[in-house]
A = this chain, B = another copy of it.
Amino acid sequence: MPDEKIWANSGDSHLVEPDDLFATMLPPALAERMPRSVKADDGRTETVYVDGQSFQRRIPRSVTSLTDIDGNTLDDERAPGANDVNLRLQDLDQEGVWAELVYPSIGIWMSSIRDPELLAAGCRAINDWAFEFQRRSMRHVPTATIPLLTVESAVAEVERAADIGFKAAYLSVAPPTDEDWNDPMWEPLWSACAEAGLVIGYHVGTEPHDASTFHGAYYRGAGGALLNYVETTYGGQRAATKMIATGVFDRHPALKVIVSEGGATWGPFVADRLDEGYRQHASAVRPQLARLPSQYLYENVYASFQHDRSAVAANWAMGWRNVCWGSDYPHLEGTFGHTQKTLHELFDDVDAETRRRVTVGAFEELFPHVPPAPGSDG
Distance of A86 from chain B, by nearest CB (Å): 27
Give the chain B neighbours of A184 by CB distance below 8 A: 222
A50 at the interface (CB under 8 A from B): no
A225 at the interface (CB under 8 A from B): yes
A114 at the interface (CB under 8 A from B): no
A293 at the interface (CB under 8 A from B): yes
Give the chain B neighbours of A180 by CB distance below 8 A: 219
Q: Which of A81-137 contact B (CB under 8 A)?
A: none
Q: Which of A302-339 contact B (CB under 8 A)?
A: 305-311, 313, 316-318, 332-334
Give the chain B neighbours of A313 by CB distance below 8 A: 268, 313, 317-318
Give the chain B neighbours of A241 by CB distance below 8 A: 223, 226-227, 230
Cβ-neighbour of A272 out of B69, B73, B227, B265 (below 8 A): B265
Alpha-carbon distance between A226 and B287 when the two chains are bound, in angstroms: 10
Give the chain B neighbours of A244 by CB distance below 8 A: 223, 226
Alpha-carbon distance between A182 and B230 when the two chains are bound, in angstroms: 14
Give the chain B neighbours of A183 by CB distance below 8 A: 221-222
Stretch of A12-20, A278-286, A367-375 at the chain-chain interface: A278-286
Verify A225–B265 contact, CB threshold 8 A: no
A364 at the interface (CB under 8 A from B): no
Chain B residue at minimal CB-CB distance from A332: B280
Stretch of A165-173, A232-240, A251-259 at the chain-chain interface: A232-240
A277 at the interface (CB under 8 A from B): yes
Verify B223–A281 contact, CB threshold 8 A: no
Alpha-carbon distance between A238 and B226 when the two chains are bound, in angstroms: 10
Give the chain B neighbours of A318 by CB distance below 8 A: 265, 309-310, 313, 317
Distance of A187 from chain B, by nearest CB (Å): 10
Give the chain B neighbours of A265 by CB distance below 8 A: 265, 268-269, 272, 318
Chain B residue at minimal CB-CB distance from A231: B238
Interface centre among A275, A277, A333 (most CB of B within 10 A): A277
Counting from the closest, the 3 A-B pairs by CB-CB distance are A223-B245, A71-B282, A317-B317
